[in-house]
Chain A
Amino acid sequence: MNLKHLAIGVVCSLGSIPVVGLLLQQLAEAAPNDIFFGWDFYIEVVVTGLLQGVMYALVALGFVLIFKASAIFNFAQGAMVLFAALAMVGFIEMGLHWTLAFLLAAVVMIIVAILIERVVLRPMVNQEPIILFMATIGIFFVLDGLGQTIWGSNVKALDIGISQTPWFVLQGEFFPGGLRLIPTEVVAAVVGALTVTLLAVLFQYTKVGRALRAVADDHQAALSVGIPLKFIWAIVWSVAGIVGLVAGVMWGTSLGVQFSLSLIALKALPVLILGGFTSIPGAIVGGLIVGVGEQVGEVFIGPLFGGAIQDWFAYMLAMIFLLFRPQGLFGERIIERV
């Protein structure tokens, strides 16, 4: 079911690329002084956007996981990304190889998840969602402060052996200079795709996955059939922490590990609104739409507004979605039957 939705979503998004291209071509002809349009250039922008989108999707995924299983909007997801990346850099600075550092950072995130469950979630069982949301704001600042206290607040480089020089592929008639790709983004896209496939399989086909979805639907009923909520929550927060680590590594290698990493969570918001808070495929498709929309918007429509629309384009897109489809593209339909 989930995979089918994902396939439909991907096909629709890909299908809209040439359509948008044609529209932009018309636009470029109408205002030739401001906008330059060429198909090779357009494709390059789209590809950059898609890769960027996967990075957004990785951050959004962490939100979706926790929201699905506990109906908590985890404001601290951004801080978890930062904390995970800081921990990994910390381990690398101790002289460890990055793979080992990654594994240790994953262990750190699992411990953080268990602590959050023990200290914050367990005493708050059955409180209003808004109270739990406030609690996650608390977690945000604690993690943020703690991370910087332990590992310092200066910008750190995170090097996992991916070269920063762009690749030029498919050199030929269509792309005279070759299609420009940033290696980090390509790796991020591959890792993102793997992560998502793994999560989809975990959710759809395993016993624990079924229990996770059951808890998401009705945690009292889940309790009544003997699903231990504490265990499930610890798992969900751990998985969200590890997904955060993956996102942190990917963003860290391209931007450097620093405080602003915790703010990319804000970019995940429009992704979530587009894709739906409860859908893993939604996070992916939402991420891709926001990524491509931003890039294409900035390059081809931006000049009409004097540029710099990248910062607000996604939010505007999200607002339009809220008007017409508040549950997002793939959000669970609100089933109401009496």
Chain B
Amino acid sequence: MAQAAVQVDPQGDALLSVQNIEVIYDHVILVLKGVSLSVPERGVVALLGANGAGKTTTLKAISNLLRAERGEVTKGSIHFGGKRIDRQTPHELVQQGVIQVMEGRHCFEHLTVEENLLTGAYTRRDGHKAVMQDLEMVYRYFPRLKERRGSQAGYTSGGEQQMCAIGRALMSRPRMILLDEPSMGLAPQLVASIFETMKRLNEDEGVTFLLAEQNTTVALKYASYGYILESGRVVMDGAADVLSANEDVKEFYLGLSGSGRKSYRDVKHYKRRKRWLA
């Protein structure tokens, strides 16, 4: 049974495939209890769920930022482009094209916006000229950053910082960006503009996105496929339009209710559904 689980790869030759991973923090706290997902090349996939469901942890398991937080992947495997990556350092992963944009932006406050962007090119070895070309590319997608290029990032607005963080990731020439809560703390208009840019980057530059979002409405509008996490497990997944149409998703994640308030007795319990054993 367990052996069969490792072989599962629902979407064939996906760019990223996460199989049945378990994550433990500090050797004691079990945060992910067998999460499987896959992201196709040039896809936009959303990872949905409430606070503490394990979205960020899943992303950090992929980018391997977990180790610095005393977390580790204890079971399962992660493949990127057919290669197993769950023992690689973030440095190696960025070189191979997987980069994470962390929740809460995390710009380098005392560096200027342009210096922030340039740090994203740290792992590149293709010379100054190529880096400068990509800097211009980032400024094309985020003209606002060009205006603010000389300001210290700590003094820019939340939206500018989010652009700066995404631009910084772009500077590493990624194949895939793990985008954690890009909408956090931003005005709806800005959120829409950030997501529009993500879509353009996906279509024009061929960047694959795995997106963790609490804002389910926006995420399902821009993603093509979604996974819903609940206390460290994937409880439901499907194409974005299928998820948006699902009654329970509407009720709990989209805040839409067709039939008035339900009684908790009628609520389906998803946590028993162990799709990682399928």
Once bound together, how far apart are the Cα atoms of A223 and B116, in whole Å?
A: 13
Please name 12 pairs of A and B residues whose Cβ atoms are closer than 8 Å in the assembled complex, sorted by A.
A126-B68, A217-B109, A218-B106, A218-B108, A223-B68, A224-B90, A224-B101, A225-B122, A225-B172, A226-B99, A335-B152, A335-B155
User: What residues of chain A have their CB less than 8 Å away from a CB belonging to chain B?
Assistant: 125-126, 207, 210-211, 213-214, 216-229, 332, 335, 337-338
Once bound together, how far apart are the Cα atoms of A310 and B115, in whole Å?
A: 43
Known A-B contacts A126-B69, A213-B111, A226-B93; the reply to A221 vs B122 at CB < 8 A is: no
User: What residues of chain B have their CB less than 8 Å away from a CB belonging to chain A?
Assistant: 63, 65, 68-70, 89-91, 93-95, 99-102, 106-111, 115-116, 118-120, 122-123, 152, 154-155, 158, 168-169, 172, 185
| Nearest Cβ on chain A to B132's Cβ, whole angstroms | 13
Once bound together, how far apart are the Cα atoms of A55 and B91, in whole Å?
A: 39
Known A-B contacts A126-B70, A214-B108; the reply to A337 vs B63 at CB < 8 A is: no
The answer to whether B102 touches A220, judged by C-beta atoms less than 8 angstroms apart, is yes
Once bound together, how far apart are the Cα atoms of A210 and B111, in whole Å?
A: 8
With a cutoff of 8 Å between Cβ atoms, the chain A residues found around residue B168 in the complex are 225
Once bound together, how far apart are the Cα atoms of A198 and B50, in whole Å?
A: 50
With a cutoff of 8 Å between Cβ atoms, the chain A residues found around residue B115 in the complex are 210, 213-214
The answer to whether A221 touches B99, judged by C-beta atoms less than 8 angstroms apart, is no
With a cutoff of 8 Å between Cβ atoms, the chain B residues found around residue A226 in the complex are 90-91, 93-95, 99, 122-123, 172
With a cutoff of 8 Å between Cβ atoms, the chain A residues found around residue B158 in the complex are 337
The answer to whether A225 touches B169, judged by C-beta atoms less than 8 angstroms apart, is yes
Beyond A125-B68, A226-B99, 14 additional contacts (C-beta under 8 Å) are: A214-B108, A220-B102, A221-B106, A221-B107, A222-B108, A224-B99, A225-B123, A225-B169, A226-B93, A226-B95, A226-B122, A226-B172, A228-B89, A337-B154
With a cutoff of 8 Å between Cβ atoms, the chain A residues found around residue B169 in the complex are 225
Q: Which residue of B lies closest to A229 (CB)?
A: B68
The answer to whether A224 touches B122, judged by C-beta atoms less than 8 angstroms apart, is no
Once bound together, how far apart are the Cα atoms of A60 and B102, in whole Å?
A: 34
| Nearest Cβ on chain B to A1's Cβ, whole angstroms | 9
Once bound together, how far apart are the Cα atoms of A125 and B115, in whole Å?
A: 25
Once bound together, how far apart are the Cα atoms of A126 and B169, in whole Å?
A: 23
Interchain residue pairs A-B with the least CB separation, the first 4: A226-B94, A335-B154, A221-B106, A217-B108
The answer to whether B122 touches A217, judged by C-beta atoms less than 8 angstroms apart, is no
| Nearest Cβ on chain B to A163's Cβ, whole angstroms | 44
With a cutoff of 8 Å between Cβ atoms, the chain A residues found around residue B154 in the complex are 335, 337
The answer to whether B102 touches A221, judged by C-beta atoms less than 8 angstroms apart, is yes
Once bound together, how far apart are the Cα atoms of A228 and B155, in whole Å?
A: 26
With a cutoff of 8 Å between Cβ atoms, the chain A residues found around residue B69 in the complex are 126
Once bound together, how far apart are the Cα atoms of A230 and B90, in whole Å?
A: 12
Once bound together, how far apart are the Cα atoms of A222 and B91, in whole Å?
A: 10
| Nearest Cβ on chain A to B93's Cβ, whole angstroms | 7
With a cutoff of 8 Å between Cβ atoms, the chain B residues found around residue A228 in the complex are 89, 91
With a cutoff of 8 Å between Cβ atoms, the chain B residues found around residue A335 in the complex are 109-110, 152, 154-155
Interface centre among A125, A222, A223 (most CB of B within 10 A): A223
| Nearest Cβ on chain B to A203's Cβ, whole angstroms | 11
Q: Which residue of B lies closest to A221 (CB)?
A: B106
Q: Which residue of A lies closest to B106 (CB)?
A: A221
With a cutoff of 8 Å between Cβ atoms, the chain B residues found around residue A229 in the complex are 68
Q: Which residue of B lies closest to A223 (CB)?
A: B90
The answer to whether B106 touches A207, judged by C-beta atoms less than 8 angstroms apart, is no
Q: Which residue of A lies closest to B89 (CB)?
A: A228
The answer to whether A211 touches B106, judged by C-beta atoms less than 8 angstroms apart, is no
Known A-B contacts A126-B70, A332-B110, A337-B154; the reply to A227 vs B100 at CB < 8 A is: no
| Nearest Cβ on chain A to B23's Cβ, whole angstroms | 16
With a cutoff of 8 Å between Cβ atoms, the chain A residues found around residue B155 in the complex are 335, 337
The answer to whether B68 touches A227, judged by C-beta atoms less than 8 angstroms apart, is no
Q: Which residue of A lies closest to B92 (CB)?
A: A226
Q: Which residue of A lies closest to B67 (CB)?
A: A125
The answer to whether B100 touches A224, judged by C-beta atoms less than 8 angstroms apart, is yes
With a cutoff of 8 Å between Cβ atoms, the chain A residues found around residue B152 in the complex are 335
Cross-chain contact of A225 among B89, B110, B119, B185 (Cβ < 8 A): B119
